[in-house]
A and B are shown apart, each in its own frame.
Chain A
Amino acid sequence: MNPEYRPYTLVAELTYRCPLRCVYCSNPVDYGRHDRELDTATWLRVLEEAEELGVVQLNLTGGEPLVRDDLEQLVEKARQLDLYTNLITSGIPLTQARLARLRELGLDNVQLSIQDVKPVESDRIAGLRSFERKLEVARWVKSLGFPLTINTVLHRDNLDHVADVIALAEELSADRLELANTQYLGWALVNRKALLPSREQLDRARELALAARERLKGKMEVLFVVPDYYREFPPACMDGWGRRFLLVSPDGLALPCHVAHEIPGMTFEKVGSRPLAEIWAAREGLGRFRGTDWMPEPCRSCERRDVDFGGCRCQAYFLTGDAAATDPVCVKSPRHELVEAARAEQGAPAPFVYRGPKGAAARTG
């Protein structure tokens, strides 16, 4: 296989279960209907095969990975394979003793989500009283000698608090702060009306983040990811489909990202059905939108086609109904009006639909 396509990072979605019910969760809206979770032995084999294939980074995520009681075994195996292992977590449910054990077993980094800077606002997004506990977890992380990444997903109701988020991350001695704006897929698409910010809000927050990045250089890394909806051109989603990232869903599908299995008509293979290297190299599934051959116009003749690889296939599907269409976020897309319309209705009051196993329809209908 062309070395251009090598998975450096395995995103292991261990479960869709999570005690939090965040309104922008990136899990599929129908996650409650998926097959049962992979067992420990299968995950251990996936880690081995992934490392063999070139993976050097492992993101343990979900759902909430802490609800798996074999997390220790997976971390231990990852360390044996010399993988750099990130635990991407809400911090709940966790004890200090378990975290210490994970440290001993070789976990490298903890990425903790914090929804906002005050308990009421934060817990409102998470759908669970969790804010104070998260701060406690952050202190455990640092006292055990882990590097700490704080991740705050940004949207209309917390973008104006970015200065306070930065101050909180500093107070917690975070090594890295990810200020990642909501991208409108999964539950965030269901809640788009309630979450999409204004351009002015976004610009102000970005200025603050850039100033903090400069001020904290060498001490705390500050990332600011703008929402695709306010970009002129889409970014290279996942660095390009099936190019640098491999994601395995809780039920074992080998995927290019956390959403692609929601596209009807796509066939993705399950890990264990044949060697992972073959699944990675397949023409269908992980190969379906790899590279540029699949592109329609205006992507095909665009000078940015090797820069953004046509943007996000899932966004194209969810907005236009066609996963092979140009990402409507792009100003050159013939369907760009879909994104403009979403921006135009920004600011209107809308109730939250909380993530839950019964899907969104059951909750809004």
Chain B
Amino acid sequence: MISTESRPRLASKVRLRFDRKGERYMLLYPEKGLVLNPTAAAIVRLCTGEHTVGAIVERLVEEYPTQTREALEREVLEFLSAMADRGLVHGDV
């Protein structure tokens, strides 16, 4: 369960890679790849286990000043929860 206090980190089976062909980031894990949009890539790069979801939202607020904090928080929580369900992110508090 991902909350604003969680400190998400990428699962050990997952690697982040820049895709030169598509000029975007991809997550790679066994037999699969997931193309990330720029916001998702920014979130994933902060999933090191050090930052809380709250801190990640703060960071995004600075990067994307046109979006409200509430909208960003909702987006981050939804994205990370979906990632956790797929076993790609662990949400240890």
Please report A residues at the B interface, Cβ cutoff 8 Å.
Answer: 3, 6, 8-9, 54, 56-57, 59, 82, 84, 86, 108-109, 111, 145, 147, 149, 175-176, 217-221
Also in contact, A56 and B33, with CB within 8 A (given A6-B21, A84-B15, A108-B15):
yes
Q: Is A218 touching B12 in the complex (CB atoms < 8 A)?
A: no
Contacts of B11 in A (CB 8 A): 147, 175
Contacts of B84 in A (CB 8 A): 218
Also in contact, A218 and B15, with CB within 8 A (given A56-B28, A57-B31, A84-B28):
no
Q: Is B13 touching A56 in the complex (CB atoms < 8 A)?
A: no
Also in contact, A175 and B13, with CB within 8 A (given A217-B85, A221-B86):
yes
Q: Which of B21, B31, B85 contacts A86 (CB 8 A)?
A: B31
- Of the listed residues A3, A8, A56, A176, the one surrounded by the most CB atoms of chain B closer than 10 A to its CB is A56
**Size range of the chain B interface in the assembly:** 10 to 19
Contacts of A109 in B (CB 8 A): 13, 29-30
The 3 closest A-B pairs by CB, nearest first: A147-B13, A84-B28, A109-B30
Give complex CA distance A220, B12 in Å.
13
Give complex CA distance A59, B12 in Å.
18
Give complex CA distance A3, B32 in Å.
18
The answer to whether B19 has its CB under 8 Å from any CB of chain A is yes
The answer to whether B72 has its CB under 8 Å from any CB of chain A is no
Contacts of B13 in A (CB 8 A): 108-109, 147, 175-176
Contacts of A220 in B (CB 8 A): 87
Also in contact, A57 and B28, with CB within 8 A (given A8-B33, A84-B15):
yes
Interface residues of B in 1-26 (CB under 8 A from A): 11-13, 15, 17, 19, 21, 26
Q: Is B86 touching A218 in the complex (CB atoms < 8 A)?
A: yes
Contacts of A56 in B (CB 8 A): 17, 19, 26, 28, 33
Q: Is A147 touching B85 in the complex (CB atoms < 8 A)?
A: no
Give complex CA distance A247, B50 in Å.
40
Also in contact, A54 and B21, with CB within 8 A (given A175-B13, A219-B87):
yes
Give complex CA distance A59, B31 in Å.
8
Give complex CA distance A131, B21 in Å.
43
Q: Mark B25-42, 1 if CB is under 8 A from A, else 0.
A: 010111111000000000
Q: Is A149 touching B30 in the complex (CB atoms < 8 A)?
A: yes
Also in contact, A84 and B29, with CB within 8 A (given A6-B21, A56-B17, A147-B13):
yes
Q: Which of A3, A6, A82, A221 contacts B87 (CB 8 A)?
A: A221
Identify 14 residue pairs between A and B in the complex whose beta-carbon atoms are under 8 Å apart, listed by A's number. A9-B31, A54-B21, A56-B33, A82-B17, A109-B13, A145-B12, A147-B12, A147-B30, A175-B11, A217-B87, A218-B85, A218-B87, A220-B87, A221-B87
